Structure 1
Amino acid sequence: MAGYRKLGRTTAQRKALLRNQVTNLLYHGRIKTTESKAKEVRKMAEKMIALAVKEMDNFEEVTVTAKVPRKDAEGRRVKEEVDGKKVTVYDELEKTIKKDKATRLHARRQMLKVLYPVVEVPGNKKRSAKKVDMVAKMFDEVGPKYQDRNGGYTRMIKIGQRKGDGAMEVFIELV
């Protein structure tokens, strides 16, 4: 007996389909799909959420100094002349950043193997599209949400058979 469902697809197609559905489930919180696909998506999503819960607090705060170019009122870099050349003027800023410990870094890389990059486009404005860091969302939002829960992060709700081929359709959603 196989350890997974093949879903009538080649390996590459199957992996891409499941990665896409897991990413959409974790981003939107709910997707509609067939029952067999949902059972496979559930396996992957539960593992991602379990990683986020386990490693969400495993970091240290570090203060770093960064050189940032000085900007004028119009947002352009300020330049001054030194030895006949125009040179950008830099300011030093101190920032506090989260530095992942080794196990959290490994968890982050495991999540990046599964999750696709998400681009959020508000309305029809492609210029104002912004990238969503799904791994940061997992650690910052999903992890604390399920911190007190031991597994069972998803639920499947059957909604009946599909009209075309009679496949059982379900909503799979985060609890």
Structure 2
Amino acid sequence: MALQRKLGRATDQRKAILKGLVTSLFKTGKIQTTEARAKEVKNIAEKLIATAVKELDSFTSKQVKVTTAKLDSDGKKITKTATSKNGRKYEVVDREEKTDMITVDSASRLHARRQIMNWVYRVHDEEGKAINIVDKIFDEIAPKYKEKNGGYTRIYKLGPRRGDAAEVVILELV
């Protein structure tokens, strides 16, 4: 028995289509596609959300020393002059050290993040800033469904498409 519908495509094309649809679903919360594709994306998205919900609280916090460059009022790095052993002068960026609390994933949560990374692309918003879909799933989507056991997505039928009469649906996160 096949794990997924073939969708009339070669394996690489089919995976690319599904990855793109899964990424769009998590980025926008809603996609419009054909019924067969929506059913496949629904299966994948439900498994990924369930994985994230299961690993939601398996991390620890830790203090880490971080050094950052000192900036002036214009946002440029402040430099200072230093002298080498042989007497030459050179510029060094002035740095400040501070401690930050960071979260450290457990091994199972790291594995879950990597599984999710297999099904999503790297995307950017309208301003060109990178959106980390995996962080969005763990920080925004999974906490919403913490108390829910499955049924994270919903399919609405819209009717046949004009060109080829394929059944068009809207797939959205509940």
Q: TM-score range by the shorter chain?
A: over 0.9
Does residue 113 of the first structure (1) align with residue 118 of the second (2)? Answer: yes
CA–CA distance in structure 1, aligned partners of residues 3 and 102 of structure 2 = 41
Using the TM superposition, give the Cα deviation of residue 152 of structure 1 relative to its aligned residue in structure 2, in angstroms. 1.0
CA–CA distance in structure 1, aligned partners of residues 149 and 156 of structure 2 = 20
Residue 156 of structure 2 is matched in structure 1 by: 157
AA aligned opposite 1:17: I
Paired-residue identity, % = 46
| Superposition misfits of 4+ residues, deviation over 3 angstroms | none
Q: TM-score, normalised by structure 1?
A: 0.93
Residue 55 of structure 1 is matched in structure 2 by: 55
Q: TM-score, normalised by structure 2?
A: 0.93
Q: Which runs of 5+ in 1 are unaligned?
A: 122-127
Q: How does 1:5-20 map to 2 (within 5 A)?
A: 5-20=5-20
CA–CA distance in structure 1, aligned partners of residues 90 and 156 of structure 2 = 67
How many residues of Structure 1 are paired with residues of Structure 2 in the alignment? 169
Q: Which runs of 5+ in 2 are unaligned?
A: 84-88
Once superposed, what is the RMSD of the aligned Cα atoms? 1.1
Q: Which moved more, 1:82-91 or 1:28-37?
A: 82-91
Q: How does 1:3-152 map to 2 (within 5 A)?
A: 3-83=3-83, 84-121=89-126, 128-152=127-151
Q: Deviations over 1:73-99 (max 9, x none)?
A: 122211112212222111001111111
CA–CA distance in structure 2, aligned partners of residues 15 and 137 of structure 1 = 22
* SS of structure 2 residue aligned to 1:114: coil
Using the TM superposition, give the Cα deviation of residue 120 of structure 1 relative to its aligned residue in structure 2, in angstroms. 0.2
